[in-house]
Chain A
Amino acid sequence: MFRIIKKKELNPTVTLMEVEAPLIAKKAQPGQFVILRTDEGGERIPLTIADYNREQGTVTIIYQIVGATTRILNSMSVGDCLQDFVGPLGRPTVTEGKKKVAVVGGGVGCAIAYPVVKKFHEQGTKVHAIIGFRSNELVILEEEFRSNSSKLVLMSDDGSCGEKGLVTDALKKLIESGEQYDEVITIGPLIMMKYVSMLTKQYGIKTVASMNPIMIDGTGMCGGCRLSVGGKTQFACVDGPEFNGHEIDFDEAIARSDMYKEFEQKKQDEACKLYQKEVS
């Protein structure tokens, strides 16, 4: 069992949790993820490792409440234990050998982008962070990004914070103003990563996208997380989760991410009803 030792609401739908998992904390690298199960009847869901503390033996996860399982997770408190917590999974982000990079994060994807930014910054790579949110109250980790990057551009869909517009607008502006990046790393909604990749392809800038497909085991035994990359089938859990953004079939990935939509909606409605009952 894995004890929750800290819980902090970052915005109305995004929560940070620190979980006691010394073995995972010892090994974790930016870009890797864990799979967790809240309880005996629960499903296995993948969540990226947002941070870790090797000395204290803790791993930080940041999740958005999007369905039944994240809702159950969010009903748990400090001191409660998660049934299963396994990792670190996937390949770490390759951070070596780059002089200057841009990291483009969107929404809760920023939680995953943050450890990557931090790692680049700590090793002396010049890093520009472009982070985008729908509106002001959804902004997370702004200060953390600011103190770990040499430039931070904050974007919002409605202009309620930072600049109004999309992350691609900001990236395009930087590139056109003459900024030269060895690589762009993008983490966020599939549609955002698709457009970031399309943009950088025009400029011939190498781009890495961190994919988040449906997963079950996370160890390569089922292929539930498969994607087409450069015309080849790859398993995101073992071959990724990061792939060359210019080779990913994003439209296929978007279709696959909706596979259980109906079921998920039903489960979420059930979970909502259950909570309403408990409240009344």
Chain B
Amino acid sequence: MDVLKKVPIKEQDPQVRAHNFDEVCLGYELEEAMEEASRCIQCKNPKCVSGCPVSIDIPGFIKEVENNNIEAAFKIISDYSALPAVCGRVCPQETQCEQVCIRGIKGDPVSIGKLERFVADWARNHNIKPEPPKEKNGKKVAVIGSGPAGLTCAGELAKLGYDVTIFEALHEPGGVLLYGIPEFRLPKEEVVKAEINNVISLGVKIETNVIIGRSTTIDELMEDEGFEAVFIGSGAGLPKFMGIPGENANGVFSANEYLTRNNLMKAYDTSYDTPIITGKRVAVVGGGNVAMDAARTALRLGADVTVVYRRSEAELPARVEEVHHAKEEGIKFKLLTNPTEILVNEDGWVSGMRCVEMELGEPDESGRRRPVVKKDSEFVMELDTVIMSLGTSPNPLISSTTEGLEINKWKCIIADEETGLTTREGVFAGGDAVTGAATVILAMGAGKAAAKGIHEYLTSK
């Protein structure tokens, strides 16, 4: 064994997985996990913990894996995280825990994410669940949204004895874990549902098909239904479009629509009723994780797929692992390219996309080099489907129907970073609804902080 290298992990062959929706990464076996765990040098002052947004005792659980005490490892993780099987799969560990791992200075960092995933999968396969609280305090808290922020906040509050109800607008809980991240990265039945059931087993109730702002309001929950505090974890689900000509043509989709049809409504499976337009030549505009998910989904539905991004490879916001997987599967990348018009045929369908080439100029206020149009570089891509993956912003439905809840110029809810408290008494918020589109683990961190904020607020009240 080479201690400088991660124990390699098995993956589905790219040629095979390009045609199915089964999970790409197959995970560690027990022996492999124990071997990888032995690479951890058990730092006295572990940097990895400070790199984790929910501060999991990483050396603690890894020590237990090394000694083959997987149940004990799961108990340690469960003290910090409600969704380890999810986080082990979708966290960008390379910029979090693993980025600061001492092992990474010389060689590969310890594969913390894959070990977390192994522990959570092992616990699920051995039917080990987190323990419900011994005592209830009888206080009611409402959580809006059942994505990572809401699930984490609800789970933490339930552990503290609160009577928690989650209200979810869609027909199934999970938020982006369900409708956004595809099956081949995050299996729904096996992983997402099981982890949500763990939260339910802590005593959390989930009411689906309730849209706060329409079906009921925060004011009504607090005044009529006896909820003493509310947590808003409604995410950032409003898709952005470019505003270029032809964008409403048939065959142009937001990545949210494309992924919702496929993930939530299972359009890839013809025994379900929701249709999806497959397309032969598909362009995905954007370079984030959502763009990679949409591109890899279209590929699996049989299309020839090109990712079109206005900056260069180094600036791609998507995880390195996902870009690597996409390339392995045969996704093409057209970098330093920006669409200017969607070309539409006489029946109203997409026939192509007019683009210009870009070059990188001076850094802008975000520190990234601003792309500028290269002169006389216009060209046309022939296409039949375009998926816009330009990011999302928070839905104004809740903020516009709640008295005294203030938002900033990006339509994000204003909330205290430490406690999650908003400008409205008793109302807390966290996750993408506050930050704009970010990561699963940051949303979980915010949900956890808000649970602490709510507990302090209700105990001092």
Interface positions of A (Cβ within 8 A of B) = 23-24, 27, 37, 41-44, 68-69, 83-89, 216-217, 219-224, 226-228, 233, 238, 249, 251-252, 255-256, 258-260, 263-264, 267
Q: How far apart sit A260 and B261, CA to CA, in the bound complex (Å)?
A: 13
Q: How far is the CB of B165 from chain A (nearest CB, A)?
A: 14
Q: How far apart sit A180 and B436, CA to CA, in the bound complex (Å)?
A: 49
A221 CB contacts on chain B under 8 angstroms: 237-239, 256, 260, 395
Give the tally of cross-chain contacts (CB within 8 A). Answer: 113
Q: How far apart sit A259 and B248, CA to CA, in the bound complex (Å)?
A: 12
CB atoms of A238 and B397 under 8 A apart: yes
Mask: chain B, 416-438; 1 = CB below 8 Å from A; 0 = not: 00000000000000000000000
Q: How far apart sit A258 and B210, CA to CA, in the bound complex (Å)?
A: 30
Check: B3 CB closer than 8 A to any chain A CB: no
Check: B271 CB closer than 8 A to any chain A CB: yes
Among the listed stretches B211-219, B293-301, B364-372, which one makes contact with chain A, having 4 or more residues with CB under 8 Å of it? B211-219
21 cross-chain CB contacts under 8 A: A41-B271, A43-B265, A43-B272, A43-B274, A44-B171, A86-B171, A87-B215, A216-B261, A217-B169, A219-B169, A219-B170, A219-B211, A221-B395, A223-B257, A224-B253, A224-B254, A227-B248, A238-B395, A259-B251, A260-B275, A263-B275
B256 CB contacts on chain A under 8 angstroms: 221-223
Check: B329 CB closer than 8 A to any chain A CB: no
Take A84-B209, A87-B214, A89-B214 as given contacts and tell me if A220 and B395 are in contact as well, using a CB distance cutoff of 8 Å.
yes
Q: How far apart sit A223 and B395, CA to CA, in the bound complex (Å)?
A: 12
CB atoms of B211 and A222 under 8 A apart: no
Check: B361 CB closer than 8 A to any chain A CB: no
Q: How far is the CB of B257 from chain A (nearest CB, A)?
A: 4
CB atoms of B250 and A256 under 8 A apart: yes
Find the residue from B243, B257, B273 having the highest chain A CB count within 10 A.
B273
Contact for A44 among B210, B211, B274, CB less than 8 A: B274
Contact for B260 among A84, A85, A222, CB less than 8 A: A222
B108 CB contacts on chain A under 8 angstroms: none
Q: How far apart sit A42 and B266, CA to CA, in the bound complex (Å)?
A: 10
CB atoms of B239 and A41 under 8 A apart: no
Count the B residues whose beta carbon is within 8 Å of the partner chain — how many? 39
Q: How far apart sit A91 and B128, CA to CA, in the bound complex (Å)?
A: 46
Check: B184 CB closer than 8 A to any chain A CB: no
Q: How far is the CB of A86 from chain B (nearest CB, A)?
A: 4
* Pairs of residues from A and B, 3 with the lowest C-beta to C-beta distance, nearest first: A255-B348, A221-B237, A222-B257
Interface positions of B (Cβ within 8 A of A) = 169-171, 208-211, 214-216, 237-239, 241, 243, 247-251, 253-254, 256-257, 260-261, 265-266, 271-275, 277, 347-349, 395, 397
CB atoms of A255 and B250 under 8 A apart: yes
Q: How far apart sit A228 and B344, CA to CA, in the bound complex (Å)?
A: 15
Take A43-B265, A44-B274 as given contacts and tell me if A217 and B260 are in contact as well, using a CB distance cutoff of 8 Å.
yes
> Closest B-chain residue to A232, C-beta based?
B243
CB atoms of B397 and A85 under 8 A apart: no
Known A44-B171, A252-B348, A264-B275; 18 more pairs at CB < 8 Å = A27-B214, A27-B215, A41-B266, A41-B272, A43-B272, A44-B265, A86-B210, A86-B211, A87-B215, A216-B274, A217-B170, A219-B169, A219-B170, A223-B239, A251-B348, A256-B250, A256-B348, A260-B277
A69 CB contacts on chain B under 8 angstroms: 273
CB atoms of B277 and A84 under 8 A apart: no
CB atoms of B273 and A42 under 8 A apart: yes
Q: How far is the CB of B262 from chain A (nearest CB, A)?
A: 11
A37 CB contacts on chain B under 8 angstroms: 171
CB atoms of A83 and B171 under 8 A apart: yes
> Closest B-chain residue to A252, C-beta based?
B248
Contact for B237 among A83, A87, A220, CB less than 8 A: A220
Q: How far is the CB of B444 from chain A (nearest CB, A)?
A: 20
Q: How far is the CB of A58 from chain B (nearest CB, A)?
A: 16
CB atoms of A220 and B397 under 8 A apart: yes
> Closest B-chain residue to A2, C-beta based?
B209
Q: How far apart sit A252 and B243, CA to CA, in the bound complex (Å)?
A: 16
A223 CB contacts on chain B under 8 angstroms: 239, 241, 253-254, 256-257
CB atoms of B257 and A256 under 8 A apart: no
Take A228-B248, A255-B347 as given contacts and tell me if A219 and B397 are in contact as well, using a CB distance cutoff of 8 Å.
yes
Q: How far is the CB of A40 from chain B (nearest CB, A)?
A: 9
Contact for A84 among B171, B214, B248, CB less than 8 A: B171
